[in-house]
Every structure is written in C-alpha cells, then in structure tokens.
Amino acid sequence: MNSLKERQWQLGEATIIETARELLVQKGYAETSMDDIAAHLGTGEATLYLHFKSKEELALRIISHEINSSAAVLHLFDPTLHVAQRFQLLLRNGIQRRINLGEARIERLPKEIFSHPDFVAAQQRAALASMNLIEEGKKQGDIRQDIPTLIIPHYIKAIFSADYTRLLETEGITLEIFTDHIESSVEHYEE
C-alpha cells in the first residue's frame, strides 16, 4: 500500500503534469518555461525539478500519458459493442485527445522526445491495442480483410498527423463527420 507521502508525491506529479499540459496547449512548448509552470502552481521551480529533470522530461511524460490513456481507453469500452462501434469510439477519443493537446503545438516539441524509449514504448502499446481491435474486427467481418492489419494504424496515424484541426474548426466539418469518413475507408461493407 502506498504511504501518505507517496500518495502526496504522486498527486503532486499529477498536478504538475496537468498544469504543464494546459500551459503547453495555451502557449506552446517553446513559449512555456518551468518558471511559468511553477508560477501557475504557486510553487518554486526547485519543486518541479524534484519531479522532473527538465522541461523535455516533463513534456515526454505528458505525451506518453496521453498515448497510454488512449490505449487504456480500449479496455473501458463495453466488450459487447460491435468492433465497428469500439473502433469509432477509439478514433473519436484519439482525435479529441489530439485536439486537447493542441495539435499544432505538439508538432513543435523537440525531436528527441519522439525518439525517447518511453515515448516509443507508449506508441508501441497503443499500436498493439489498436491492432488487436483491428484483428477482432476482421474476424467479425467489420473491417476490410484486404488491408494488412499493420497498415491500418499507420494509415490512421498519418491522418492524425494531418492538419485536420483546421478542417474541424474553420471548415465546419464536425468530429463525427471526420471520423465517419476515416471509418468508412477501413470498414467492410456487404454489397
């Protein structure tokens, strides 16, 4: 069982991560300093450095947390739902998380974060969870058999890398319409 001090430490870390995430979304990575984060928390920079060695490490934790949360969300879906419904929920959740993180600002993070072993491991866990869902969908006939399972997560990742926020915000395309089109490109339909 975690001691009170350990729980306070974890709560402190969770609060730091959430505050830093909000600032990164608002201001961007380059414009957010550890001092800014500390000021929003009402603490000193030294407290942040007790938890994180650098701003890069903090950003890595934020991104890894979001990826892990996206993969974990699959386990929250009602297993009695059709795979197509779970796939739709997964897509919408992923897009919403990406929007919440400030898509354009994420792309400006230091390249080292994207090659860090923790980030790569989180990406692999998310991809494995997605591929398991895709395989289940293929077995049930909900997802096209002619597209290799390994390609579908990369296809979706490429779409997530696109500038779809502009599409959603300025072109009047809703999140539902956007995900419906993604789904229709991989779902199997009987003719």
% pLDDT > 70, the chain: 73
Q: How far apart are CA 48 and CA 69, in angstroms?
A: 23
53-186 in CATH: which number? 1.10.357.10
pLDDT tens-digit readout, 15-31: 999 899 888 888 888 88
- CATH homologous superfamily of 1-52: Homeodomain-like (1.10.10.60)
pTM: 0.60
Q: pLDDT, tens digit, for every residue of 71-86? A: 666 666 777 888 878 8
Residues of the chain within CATH 1.10.10.60 domain(s) are 1-52
pLDDT in tens, 84-107: 788 778 777 777 777 666 654 555
pLDDT, the chain, mean: 77
Q: Which of 189, 70, 186, 176 is nearest to 123 (CA)?
A: 70
Residues of the chain with CATH 1.10.357.10: 53-186
pLDDT at 92: 77
Residue 104: the pLDDT is 46
Q: Is 51 exposed, middle or buried (0-12, 13-18, 19+ CB in 10 A)?
A: middle
